Amino acid sequence: MNTVVADITYRAMLGRKRIWLLVLLPVALVAIALLLRLLNGQSEQTAVTLMKTFAIGTMLPLLGLIGGTGVIAPEIEDGTIIHLLSKPISRPVIAVTKFVVAASLIAVFAAVSTFAAAYLLTGMESGVATGFTFGALFGGVAYAAVFLLLGVLTRHAVAIGVIYALVWEGVVGGYVPGARKFSIQQWAQSLADHLSSSAFFSTEVTLGFAVPAMAIVTVGAVLWTGQRLRSLSLTGDD
Amino acid sequence: MTTTSPPVTTRQGVLELAQVSRWYGNVVAVNDVTMTIGPGVTGLLGPNGAGKSTLLHMMAGFLAPSNGTATLDGRQIWHNHDIYRQIGLVPEKEAVYGFLTGRQFVLSAARLHGLPSPDDAARRALDLVEMTEASGRRIETYSKGMRQRVKVAAALVHDPQVLLLDEPFNGMDPRQRLHLMDLVRRMGEEGRTILFSSHILEEVERVAHHIEVLVAGRHAASGDYREIRRRMADRPHRFRVRSSDDRRLAAALIADLSSSAVSLTEQGIEVQVTDFARFTALLPRTARDLDVHLWQVSPTDEDLESVFSYLISGSSR
């Protein structure tokens, strides 16, 4: 972890326009929850549905995409990353720092808004708010690692990331039974399910699979990012 | 304002490329280049697309040679982040963190290098490039020349033995250009190894004591700038001449030894000149003696590509 790299990355992510990308979806989630609360009153079933479909199913992968690729891909694209890479700092340290920044941003924006929305709809009933908050927190960390890796593997990280987030996580992971085991979204839901006692909610992926899977994917993706950064080639204009 | 450079330690700073090639698929960007760059200022000269940036990036550890080795004082550059204690790099790309002020940018470089007094180092580097006054402003408000200078300050903040600059004078106004040229010259005189790329011979010969010429990815020539200049002046030139009496003028020109071939075309006279100085003195004198008016005298092969192509053919002779 390098504090100078972290400082520059936080400033790049939170400065000016980019912060709106991170804020938009969480604000939408809380706004929808507030609207549903005003229209229907407290409802555990509504809370679970909103958390599954929007908080974990839509917002989390998109925040992961924005945060994970955002901490590194634009710098590689415009060449500013040379400022960091041309210093006597090991590239894996830069990768870990970028991951910490992305994970912390996604965790804060996703977890806080998830808790707020669930709390608005159901209070602390059946542990729904707590369960989904932890699901968003750890799922967000895994997404940060995967999308960070994508950001150093390809110049088309955002396009590929959108396809992954919406098609694999949203459609295949949600509806194809075999693929569910390999979906971060499903792992996050498994964690939420374990911490919640809601009758409106059950998942197929066991906690015994989800937690190690999240840990392996996260650590593996960060290590791979570090190795990829070591061999990152940058060329001039000729 | 302090403009003295920090003392340079006794490190060597010798960059060596041994049979280095770099290709992208079927495209060869750099082809079997061997060169040694020692202390002093060396200019890497070549037309756009010659492979200068590719070569510089391999020396800076941002590109792996497809073949051959790039070393600094015998140490491998690629995959060696410790090498940046010795190297300062000024990339051609203009992009820098625009949301930082110039001072924050240079200070971040000092901190990333783990310098014991980063504030002092940043102040000294900003002084060196005369950017102290503007250092409180965000970089996004800087002109291209100011961005270039603040990048130079960040590259110099750790007092590197080797400084690599990719087209450093691009976008600078004449005053800034002269100042940076002066700074580069002084740092070279202090014993640093400085390599900068450029496609402008005049720019290179004003600063560099040694020139390496790269054309189409090949190492075309190497030497003192006077030698390169002489070879450029001595090469055969082609001129097109239009006059009030092309036939008479052509007959007089072919009679002199300064030209090896003269041909009459619809556009005028095409002259292959072998002795440039003699021809440029002969032509107006002959025209005056023959009472022929000269309408046009223009070189037909003065573009950089043809000059550099000649150097390539010269180096392979």
Domain range summary for chain B, segments of one domain joined by +: 15-230, 235-315
Q: How far is CA B238 from the centre of its chain?
A: 26
Residues whose CB falls within 8 Å of the CB of residue B24, separated by 6 or more in sequence, listed in order: none
Contact (CB, 8 A) for B43 and B56: no
Report how far residue A182's alpha carbon sits from residue A168's, in angstroms, rounded to the nearest whole number. Answer: 9
Residues whose CB falls within 8 Å of the CB of residue A13, separated by 6 or more in sequence, listed in order: A19, A22, A67, A70, A71, A101, A105
The string of pLDDT tens digits covering residues A13-67 is 998 677 888 999 999 999 999 999 999 888 888 999 999 999 998 899 999 999 9
Residue B317: pLDDT band (50, 70, 90) is very low
Report how far residue B151's alpha carbon sits from residue B157's, in angstroms, rounded to the nearest whole number. Answer: 10
Residue B308: pLDDT band (50, 70, 90) is low
Closest CA to B42 of B74, B17, B78: B17
Nearest Cβ partner for A88 among B82, B95, B154: B82
Give residues 91 to 110 of A whose Cβ lies within 8 Å of B: 91
Closest CA to B218 of B91, B4, B52: B52
Q: Which of B83, B93, B165 to mutate to test the interface with A (most CBs of A within 10 A)?
A: B93
Whether the pLDDT of residue A165 is over 80: the answer is no
Question: Which is more confidently placed, B116 or B273?
Answer: B116
Lowest mean pLDDT among A1-15, B228-242, B290-304: B228-242
Closest CA to B170 of A233, A236, A82: A236
What does the pLDDT read at residue A162? 86
Whether the pLDDT of residue B86 is over 80: the answer is yes
The structure's pTM equals 0.83
B57:A7 CB<8 A: no
Whether the pLDDT of residue B163 is over 90: the answer is yes
A234:B166 CB<8 A: no
The string of pLDDT tens digits covering residues A96-108 is 999 999 999 999 9
Backbone angles phi, psi at B272, to 5 degrees: -95, 110
Inform me whether the C-beta atom of residue A17 falls under 8 Å from chain B C-beta atoms. Answer: no
Chains A and B form CB pairs within 8 A to the count of: 95
Contact (CB, 8 A) for A234 and A75: no
What does the pLDDT read at residue B239? 87
The strand pair at B162-165 and B87-90 is best described as parallel
Residue A71: pLDDT band (50, 70, 90) is very high
Contact (CB, 8 A) for B42 and B212: yes
Nearest Cβ partner for A4 among B64, B82, B108: B108
Residues whose CB falls within 8 Å of the CB of residue B80, separated by 6 or more in sequence, listed in order: B61
What does the pLDDT read at residue B314? 54
Residue B312: pLDDT band (50, 70, 90) is low
Q: What is the ipTM of this complex?
A: 0.88
Question: Which is more confidently placed, B125 or A161?
Answer: B125
Mean pLDDT, rounded, of chain B: 87
Q: How far is CA B266 from the centre of its chain?
A: 39
Backbone angles phi, psi at A146, to 5 degrees: -65, -45
**So what's the architecture of B15-230 in CATH?**
3-Layer(aba) Sandwich (3.40)
What does the pLDDT read at residue A238? 52
Contact (CB, 8 A) for B219 and B34: yes
Report how far residue B299's alpha carbon sits from residue B271's, in angstroms, rounded to the nearest whole number. Answer: 9
The string of pLDDT tens digits covering residues B195-205 is 999 888 778 88
Tokens of B165: 């600059």
Give residues 209 to 238 of B whose Cβ lies within 8 Å of A: none
The strand pair at B210-215 and B218-223 is best described as antiparallel
B53:A12 CB<8 A: no
Contact (CB, 8 A) for B244 and B292: yes
Nearest Cβ partner for B54 among A5, A84, A235: A235
Report how far residue A205's alpha carbon sits from residue A210's, in angstroms, rounded to the nearest whole number. Answer: 7
The chain A residue lying nearest B150, using CA atoms, is A83
Write down how long chain B is.
317
In the numeric block, the tokens 């002779």 are attached to: B317
A12:B99 CB<8 A: yes
Whether the pLDDT of residue B223 is over 90: the answer is no
- Mean pLDDT score, B17-36: 93
Whether the pLDDT of residue B315 is over 60: the answer is no
Closest CA to B45 of B233, B314, B237, B307: B307
Taking the CB of residue B220, how many other CB atoms lie within 10 A of it? 23
Q: Which of B52, B81, B113, B214 to mutate to test the interface with A (most CBs of A within 10 A)?
A: B81
Backbone angles phi, psi at A147, to 5 degrees: -75, -25
Q: Which amino acid is at A224?
A: W
Residues whose CB falls within 8 Å of the CB of residue A187, separated by 6 or more in sequence, listed in order: A138, A139, A142, A205, A209, A210, A211, A213, A214
Whether the pLDDT of residue B284 is over 50: the answer is yes
Report how far residue A22's alpha carbon sits from residue A28's, in angstroms, rounded to the nearest whole number. Answer: 11
Question: Which is more confidently placed, B11 or A103?
Answer: A103
Lowest mean pLDDT among A132-136, A149-153, B143-147: B143-147
Report how far residue A37's alpha carbon sits from residue A80's, in angstroms, rounded to the nearest whole number. Answer: 46
Instruction: Give the alpha-carbon dihedral of B303, B306, B311, B317, to 10 degrees.
Output: -160
3-state secondary structure of B239: strand
Whether the pLDDT of residue B249 is over 70: the answer is yes
Report how far residue B121's alpha carbon sits from residue B156's, in angstroms, rounded to the nearest whole number. Answer: 9
Lowest mean pLDDT among A33-37, A111-115, B291-295, B301-305: B301-305
Instruction: Give the alpha-carbon dihedral of A148, A154, A159, A163, to 10 degrees.
Output: -70
Lowest mean pLDDT among A51-65, A113-127, B222-236: B222-236
- Mean pLDDT score, B57-63: 94
Residue B7: pLDDT band (50, 70, 90) is very low
CATH number of B235-315: 3.30.70
Report how far residue A169's alpha carbon sits from residue A139's, in angstroms, rounded to the nearest whole number. Answer: 12
